């Protein structure tokens, strides 16, 4: 990466531990992970930590004590302790947007909040009242029917978090109410969702921090038309639409009753907002008690993150191992492999959290980076991924660190399903670590009856290099509390990495250009005039669209 300006002063490579880590990587690069267990019989124990109901086993990593010490030293040299304090104390650490970053305040337990954040309690109280009213049938639709279906209309942080958590907490859903999520401007998303719904029993939540997001406003307008097509009275909107936003004026202009607005604040980033009223669909699906337990789980992780020494700090350890692989081993991606079907949407959620936060190329105080930042996040629930892309994890030429996530117990204890699932999870991390040597592979072919020559030749195709690192995160049970802690763990991991890299994890200017261009392209696309003012490729593709749509 070559950029014209590069301020050496803020580069992480100027930290004394950086060059020591570069040298240490050379020392350790030929060391099999399995040998680290031989050298240190207590490794499984010493490379495991527990906090907020989460057990982290990071023993299957290409790191030793000296390396861990250097990584923690790097965190210290980059001023991590001060940055954590600055975030918790409400300094405007989102400096490019001049904003505080206070998602941590959203999970403070009631009564804990300083004066200027008391609004959080007020919104939680408003949510509690509303959720109770919907659940008890006190809140009814325009024709007097109770609400059976809630449709959250939002995108990005106003969709991925609540959507993922609502799915993950399916075993905790209340009977009689279903949550749906519409995010895509593709009408198929909205139309397919509405197909099975009765307008008289449907409540829409328009979730948009800014209330300017085109996809959300387009979907909300179409949802309102769908509602009014049946209920045929503008007054129905007040009984079927609520909104969550910072932008109260824009919500009112849309026609949503002032009493139906759940406020949020500019100090909550979209991808960190599921703890605010953006979590309303979670609370409606599961009840306020479970929503508060989710917040409490996150609060327990917040406390651990703020107080534990770096050497025992789960988010710090995971973040520094990520830095180790990205900046010293050349890893370009990170697999998130949840062995829990309820975490089906977890990787997608982490994609926004990590990639929108740390997909950056400039230093916090200006100047371009000369080192890599956030990885490509990808993955799928186990065991499904095993029959799809794990081939690449095991034998591909790429180096992909993986996080395995698994529960000790199942919400559906059916015959041997859970033991099979758990065994598969352990087998994958073990296979990644151990691999298979050429001699082992050849012996397997010989045992199958191949000649010595054939066995030798075919062996290459069965060789697995091994030494592919992974973390394993274990919870006793996937419940609101452990899920809250798990999400907060990843939030803080991402923040720690941003501090090491010297970037701002809390802005997202990179998404703006596409929005700007769309505001130019869309009017030209629907105009009858030929599009000629764009690049030739774009002009030609617009002409193609117009040839069938006009
Ligand atoms: O809640 P809003 O303002 O509609 O924004 C939705 C999403 O759009 C983004 O700005 C990116 O396009 C995300 O950061 C945000 O979560």
Ligand 1 pocket test: which of 97, 209, 277 has the largest number of ligand atoms within 8 Å of its C-beta? 209
Whose CA is closest to atom 14 on ligand 1? Answer: 270
Beta-bridge partner residues of 206: 153, 243
* Rounded Cα gap, residues 133 and 131, in angstroms: 5
Residue 114's pLDDT is: 72
What ligand 1 atom has the least distance to the C-alpha of 160?
16
What ligand 1 atom has the least distance to the C-alpha of 154?
4
Please tell me if the CB atom of residue 158 comes closer than 6 angstroms to any atom of ligand 1.
yes
Q: Sheet of 178-182: strands edge to edge?
A: 178-182, 149-153, 202-207, 241-245, 261-263
Residue 381's pLDDT is: 98
Cα(498) to centroid of ligand 1, in Å?
Answer: 20
Of 394, 352, 399, 398, the residue nearest 377 (C-alpha): 352
Please tell me if the CB atom of residue 214 comes closer than 6 angstroms to any atom of ligand 1.
no
Whose CA is closest to atom 2 on ligand 1? Answer: 208
Residue 118's pLDDT is: 78
What is the secondary structure of 24-81 as a DSSP string? Answer: HHHHHTT--HHHHHHH-TTHHHHTEEEETTEEEE--SSS--HHHHHHHHHHHHHTTHH
Residue 291's pLDDT is: 98
What ligand 1 atom has the least distance to the C-alpha of 157?
16
* Rounded Cα gap, residues 409 and 35, in angstroms: 31
Ligand 1 pocket test: which of 94, 97, 157, 280 has the largest number of ligand atoms within 8 Å of its C-beta? 157
Please tell me if the CB atom of residue 109 comes closer than 6 angstroms to any atom of ligand 1.
no
Residue 1's pLDDT is: 41
Please tell me if the CB atom of residue 260 comes closer than 6 angstroms to any atom of ligand 1.
no
pTM: 0.96
Cα(157) to centroid of ligand 1, in Å?
Answer: 6
Please tell me if the CB atom of residue 511 comes closer than 6 angstroms to any atom of ligand 1.
yes
Is there a cis peptide before residue 143, judged by omega within 30 degrees of 0? no
Find the angle CA(544)-CA(545)-CA(548) to the nearest 5 degrees.
Answer: 95
Q: Sheet of 54-57: strands edge to edge?
A: 48-51, 54-57, 470-475, 402-407, 333-339, 376-378
Of 300, 323, 418, the residue nearest 61 (C-alpha): 323
Beta-carbon contacts of residue 274 (< 8 Å; ≥ 6 apart): 157, 161, 162, 165, 282, 487
Residue 112's pLDDT is: 61
Ligand 1 pocket test: which of 97, 103, 155, 349 has the largest number of ligand atoms within 8 Å of its C-beta? 155
Residue 5's pLDDT is: 39
Cα(272) to centroid of ligand 1, in Å?
Answer: 11
Beta-bridge partner residues of 180: 151
CB atoms closer than 10 angstroms to residue 435: 19
Please tell me if the CB atom of residue 276 comes closer than 6 angstroms to any atom of ligand 1.
no
Q: What is the mean pLDDT of each run of 10 residues along the chain (550 residues)?
A: 46 96 97 96 98 98 98 97 94 94 85 74 96 98 98 98 98 98 98 98 98 97 98 96 96 92 96 98 98 98 97 98 98 98 98 98 93 97 97 98 98 98 98 97 97 96 97 98 98 98 96 96 96 96 96
Query: In the numeric block, which tokens belong to residue 351?
Result: 């994609």
- Which residue shows structure tokens 């954040």? 117
Please tell me if the CB atom of residue 156 comes closer than 6 angstroms to any atom of ligand 1.
yes
Beta-carbon contacts of residue 540 (< 8 Å; ≥ 6 apart): none
DSSP 377: E
Residue 104 exposed, middle or buried by CB count within 10 Å (0-12, 13-18, 19+) = buried
Active site residues: 356, 387, 515
Cα(285) to centroid of ligand 1, in Å?
Answer: 23
């Amino acid at each position: 990466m070559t950029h014209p300006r590069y301020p050496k002063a803020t580069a992480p490579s100027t930290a004394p531990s950086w060059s020591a880590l570069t040298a240490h990587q050379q020392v350790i690069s030929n060391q099999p992970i399995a040998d680290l267990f031989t050298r240190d019989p207590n490794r499984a124990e010493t490379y495991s930590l527990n906090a907020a109901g989460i057990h982290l086993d990071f023993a299957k990593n290409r790191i030793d004590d000296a390396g861990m010490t250097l990584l923690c030293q790097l965190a210290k040299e980059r001023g991590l302790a001060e940055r954590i304090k600055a975030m918790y104390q409400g300094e405007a650490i989102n400096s490019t947007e001049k904003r505080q970053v206070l998602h941590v305040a959203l999970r403070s337990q009631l009564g804990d909040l300083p004066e200027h954040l008391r609004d959080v309690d007020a919104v939680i109280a408003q949510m509690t009242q509303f959720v109770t009213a919907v659940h008890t049938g006190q809140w009814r639709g325009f024709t007097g029917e109770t609400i059976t279906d809630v449709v959250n209309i939002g995108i990005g942080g106003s969709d991925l978090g609540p959507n993922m958590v609502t799915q993950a907490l399916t075993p905790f859903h209340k009977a009689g109410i279903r949550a749906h999520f519409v995010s895509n401007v593709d009408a198929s998303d909205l139309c397919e969702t509405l197909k099975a719904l009765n307008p008289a029993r449907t409540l829409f939540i328009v979730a948009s921090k800014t209330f300017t997001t085109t996809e959300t406003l387009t979907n909300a307008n179409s949802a309102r038309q769908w509602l009014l097509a049946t209920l045929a009275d503008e007054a129905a909107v007040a009984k079927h639409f609520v909104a969550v936003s910072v932008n109260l004026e824009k919500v009112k202009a849309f026609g949503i009753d002032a009493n139906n607005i759940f406020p949020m604040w500019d100090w909550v980033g979209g991808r960190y907002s599921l703890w605010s009223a953006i979590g309303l669909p979670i609370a409606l699906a599961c009840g306020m008690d479970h929503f508060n337990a989710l917040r409490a789980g996150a609060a327990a992780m917040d406390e651990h993150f703020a107080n534990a020494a770096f050497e025992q700090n789960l988010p710090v350890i995971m973040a520094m191992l990520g830095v180790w692989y990205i900046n010293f081993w050349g890893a370009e991606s990170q697999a998130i492999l949840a062995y829990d079907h309820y975490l089906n949407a977890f990787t997608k959620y982490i994609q926004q959290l990590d990639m929108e936060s740390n997909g950056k190329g400039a230093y916090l105080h200006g100047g371009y980076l000369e080192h890599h930042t956030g990885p490509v996040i990808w993955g799928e629930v186990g065991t499904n991924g095993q029959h799809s892309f794990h081939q690449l994890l095991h034998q591909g030429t790429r180096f992909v660190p993986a996080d395995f996530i698994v529960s000790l117990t199942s919400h559906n204890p059916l015959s041997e399903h859970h033991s099979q699932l758990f065994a598969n999870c352990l087998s994958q991390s073990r296979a990644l670590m151990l691999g298979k040597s050429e001699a082992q592979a050849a012996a397997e072919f010989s045992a199958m009856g191949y000649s010595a020559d054939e066995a030798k030749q075919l062996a290459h195709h069965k060789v697995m290099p091994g030494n592919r690192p992974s973390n394993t995160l274990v919870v006793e049970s996937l419940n609101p509390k452990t899920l809250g802690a798990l999400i907060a763990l990843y939030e803080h991991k991402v923040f720690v990495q941003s501090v090491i890299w010297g970037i701002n994890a809390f802005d997202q200017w990179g998404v703006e250009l596409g929005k700007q261009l769309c505001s130019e392209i869309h009017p030209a696309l629907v105009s009858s005039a030929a599009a000629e003012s764009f690049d030739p490729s774009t002009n030609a593709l617009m002409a193609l669209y117009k040839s069938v749509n006009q």
